[in-house]
């Protein structure tokens, strides 16, 4: 009789052990806490040296807002906020002293040869300093600039995402400074400067209490609003 009972008890014990093992893993998984704030300092006093590295560290498809605080400095980067990186805030220490800068322009040859499509030079749409593809993006208290000069199309900020907010920022360039490509966009208390068509695109965009600085006697905007779209720039 004992010979028959022992295997039954053994199986029960195994079932209990397995249950506790899987349950403990579920509990541990529920306790995972993702950081919602990173500090970027090119002098080494933060979590990352570059803005792009901090963006890359944000959890994909985050449901909570993640703030990337950028300390003062000139960050010479070409930044992408990809589609899977949502709910990101770039917060500068000071809008005049926290600067993201690049100098690409349409027609400029790529240093590293060809891009993924085999193209050897930049176009208007790839000349950006900052490209935003992730929804619910916020930029606040910083400068985004394209310093290419008067060499043609050279985008500073390219937004191709919904519900983007740009607050108390300086967006500086010459031709095609701000490319409001897609989605709904809100600009508040910003300074936007350029020469020709320096605010363009087919997004629905509101500019509230913004200072628009035309550096030459030319067109300020070049909207390409879809005929079926009720609102534009």
Give the catalytic positions in this structure. Answer: 197
Task: Supply 10's token pair.
Answer: 């053994």
Alpha-carbon gap, residue 151 to 221, rounded angstroms: 18
Task: Supply 210's token pair.
Answer: 């913004």
Are 182 and 204 a contacting pair, CB within 8 Å? Answer: no
HEC letters along the chain: CHHHHHHHHHHHHHHHHHHHHHHHHHHHHHCCCCCCEEEECCCCCCCECCHHHHHHHCCCCCCCCEEEEECCEEEECCEEECCCCCCEEEEECCCCCEEEEECCCCCCECCCCCCCCCCCECCHHHCCCEEECCCCCEEECCEEEECCCCCCECCCEEEECCCEEEECCEEECCECCEEEEECEEEEECCEEEECCCCEEECCEEEEECCEEEECCCCCCEEECCCCCCCCCC
Task: Supply 27's token pair.
Answer: 């509990």
Using alpha carbons, list the distances in angstroms from residue 219 to 124, 132, 151, 189: 17, 25, 17, 22
């Amino acid at each position: 009789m004992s010979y028959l009972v022992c295997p039954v008890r053994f199986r029960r014990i195994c079932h209990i052990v397995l249950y506790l093992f899987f349950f403990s893993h579920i509990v541990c998984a529920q306790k995972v806490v993702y950081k919602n704030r990173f500090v970027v300092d090119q002098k080494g006093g933060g979590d990352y040296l570059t803005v792009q590295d901090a963006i890359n560290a944000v959890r994909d498809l985050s449901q909570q807002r993640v703030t990337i605080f950028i300390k003062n400095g000139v960050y010479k980067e070409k930044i992408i906020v990809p589609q899977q990186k949502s709910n990101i805030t770039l917060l500068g220490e000071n809008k005049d002293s926290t600067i993201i800068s690049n100098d690409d322009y349409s027609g400029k040859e790529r240093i590293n040869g060809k891009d993924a499509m085999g193209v050897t030079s930049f176009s208007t749409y790839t000349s950006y300093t900052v490209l935003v593809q992730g929804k619910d993006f916020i930029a606040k208290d910083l400068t985004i600039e394209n310093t290419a000069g008067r060499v043609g199309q050279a985008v500073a900020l390219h937004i191709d995402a919904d519900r983007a907010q740009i607050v108390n920022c300086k967006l500086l360039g010459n031709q095609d400074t701000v490319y409001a490509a897609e989605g709904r966009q809100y600009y508040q208390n910003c300074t936007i400067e350029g020469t020709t068509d320096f605010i363009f695109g087919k997004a629905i965009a509101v500019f509230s209490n913004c200072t628009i600085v035309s550096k030459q006697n030319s067109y300020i905007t070049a909207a390409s609003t879809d005929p079926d779209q009720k609102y534009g720039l």
